[in-house]
Amino acid sequence: MFDKLEAVVDRLNELNEKMSDPSLYERKKELEELSRERSNIEEVVKVYLEYKAVKADINEAKDILKNEKDEDMREMAKDELSEKEALIPNMEEELRLLLLPKDPLDDKNVMVEIRAGAGGDEASIFVGEVYRMYQNYCRSLGFKTDMVSISEGDEGIKEVIFSVSGDKVYSILKFESGVHRVQRVPKTESQGRVHTSTITVAVMPEAEDVDWELDMNDVRIDVYRSGGAGGQSVNTTDSAVRVTHIPTGVVVANQDQKSQLKNKEKALKILKTRIYDAMVREAKSEVDEARKDLVGTGDRSERIRTYNFPQGRLTDHRIGLTIYSLDKVIEGAMEEVTNALIAHNQAELLKGTDE
């Protein structure tokens, strides 16, 4: 481990030297890549240097106990040694975690899609509640959420797409992808029977131009008249836009805005993110196949969580987590759930380094 840590220190010094070159700021792509790499290893080096300082204090205290005759000095050295040695196990564990292979997507912003599944109106109502849950949670973390597209039903929301931006957004939300199941008595149920409905959540890392650039020659754009109930522009102008990625067959339609240009921009943003996400999931599936115990973020058909309202219970089936504070979670207090998923994934990665 310590050979790796010394190599990380050397790499940080190398990056600092490269970034001191004024001409680097003329090469935007290289600058972004180097800045991202430096940001990822700065914390490792900081903790390692603190660790080395503590080890130096321990060695100094041991030298005093070995050579010093003065009892007061020896007593102070004993206290120092006891205090510093107690810090070492936690610092070494932190360093092991910091040295785990980094998911290169963890720093990215995301686009989240929530769709109603089985259960009719009850599923649509739950889409709206989960959307609010994520909004509140993201707000508590200092993240910014922006609506991209929404399709409302008679009750609730059929589908909502929104973006989330902030510090390491994907690292926190990436385990939310999958089928979320809700069990409760619907408002329309007269006999008090519990019904089960489902929704699907997809958390997709947003693609940057340095990752992958959409070739517009591969895209067909069609415009058509907006449909559905609405204001003056609905059914009167060709403002709705449908974009098709010809090589993959991915289609995105958007008619949220009165402006054809804004609908086109949103549709292309969703299209680019969906295609990039599919590329990412394909690559991840090959890696995850080798480690079945990892939480994973690829299988959108997997039932990952149940929200049981009559019992106030939330269960995450992937890691066997059950908590009885569903009322708080659904209002956005998701820390216990997301922290448990992250910790489980780290523990499995640590097992992999020990094998």
3-state secondary structure the chain: CHHHHHHHHHHHHHHHHHHCCHHHHHCHHHHHHHHHHHHHHHHHHHHHHHHHHHHHHHHHHHHHHHHCCCHHHHHHHHHHHHHHHHHHHHHHHHHHHHCCCCCCCCCCCEEEEEEECCCCHHHHHHHHHHHHHHHHHHHHCCCEEEEEEEEECCCCEEEEEEEEECCCHHHHHHHHCEEEEEEECCCCCCCCCCEEEEEEEEEEECCCCCCCCCCHHHEEEEEECCCCCCCCCCCCCCCEEEEEECCCCEEEEECCCCCHHHHHHHHHHHHHHHHHHHHHHHHHHHHHHHCCCCCCCCCCCCEEEEEECCCCEEEECCCCEEECCHHHHCCCCCHHHHHHHHHHHHHHHHHHHHC
Q: In angstroms, rounded to a whole number, what is the distance separating the alpha carbons of residues 205 and 169? A: 9
Q: Are residues 246 and 320 in the same domain?
A: yes
Q: Which of 46, 76, 98 is the last residue of a domain?
A: 98
> Considering only CA atoms, which of 146, 150, 162 is closest in space to residue 111?
162
The per-residue pLDDT for 210 is: 53
Measure the CA dihedral 234/221/161/150, to 10°: 10
Domain with 29 in it: what CATH number? 1.20.58
Domain contains 50: yes
**Residue 275 covered by a domain:** yes
CB 150 within 8 A of CB 239: no
98, 118, 134 — which closes off a domain?
Answer: 98
**Is 70 exceeded by the pLDDT of residue 227?**
no
Is residue 51 scored above 80 in pLDDT? yes
The answer to whether residues 105 and 284 touch, using CB atoms and an 8 Å cutoff, is no
Chain centroid to CA 111: 10
Q: Which residue has the higher pLDDT, 215 or 51?
A: 51
- Average pLDDT of 213-225? 82
On whether both 58 and 133 belong to a single domain, the answer is no
> Is the pLDDT assigned to residue 164 strictly greater than 50?
yes
Angle (CA) 156 157 161, round 5°: 155
Structural domain contains residue 18: yes
Q: Tell me if 278 is assigned to some domain.
A: yes
Q: What is the mean pLDDT of residues 88-102?
A: 84
Q: How far is CA 289 from the centre of its chain?
A: 20
Question: Do residues 101 and 290 lie in contact, with contact meaning Cβ atoms separated by under 8 Å?
Answer: no
Question: In this predicted model, what pLDDT tens digit does every residue of 270-294 receive, in sequence order?
Answer: 888 888 888 877 766 655 554 455 5
Question: Mean pLDDT, to the nearest integer, of 201-207?
Answer: 88
- Assess whether pLDDT exceeds 80 at residue 61: yes
Residue at which a domain ends, from 98, 122, 137: 98
Q: Which residues of 8-42 are buried (b: 16+ CB within 10 A; e: fewer)?
A: beeebeebeeeeeeeeeeeeeeeeeebeeebeebe
209 and 60 housed in the same domain:
no
Say if residue 181 is in the same domain as residue 83.
no
Domain count, the chain: 2
Domain that includes residue 17, residue range: 2-98
CATH number of the domain enclosing 125? 3.30.70.1660
